[in-house]
Amino acid sequence: MLHEKNIACYAGMWIEEIEGGNCLKVRIYDFARDGSVRTTDPVAGEPIRAQGTATTGLEVDSVVLVTARMANDGLCKNLRARKQDWVAHDIRGVYQAGDCYAPRMLVEAIYEGHRIAREFESSNPQHPLPFKRERLLWEQAPEGAY
């Protein structure tokens, strides 16, 4: 959809500078600033890409940053710090799911919360049980199952 709307996407780039105004002026660079040029003769202990100073200048209407994400585990840490109060409130454990455990896509977070709820009575719901695969055997299948 971005391509259809003529929206450019610069993946794997970092921003060095953004200059505001009616038209944003942005200078971006890739990690090694060399335009992905690799050396032909690798040297032991040295990176295969030479560090450079190359940047690319862009004039854009807007910039959307998609950056590294971090787990939002503050509530879990606070609850675990109050472990001495668990018995009084009949709490047996605190488990992490979704972005509290690690940043992930929405579908993964929903599945993980569902999985922990289903496996709540296992020895450690934080770690998934082996995946159960149910198979119908032809001679045991109920009438109309196939």
Domain ranges of the chain: 13-60, 69-133
Q: How far apart are CA 124 and CA 95, in angstroms?
A: 9
70 with 103: CB under 8 angstroms?
yes
- Token pair 């999985």 is at which residue? 115
pLDDT > 90 fraction of the chain, expressed in percent and rounded: 18
Could you read off the pLDDT of 110-125 as tens digits, one per residue? 999 999 998 888 888 8
What pLDDT score does 2 carry?
80
Residues 37-65, buried b or exposed e (16+ Cβ, 10 A)?
eeeeeeeeeeeebeeeeebeebeeeeeee
> Which CATH number is 69-133 given?
3.40.50.720
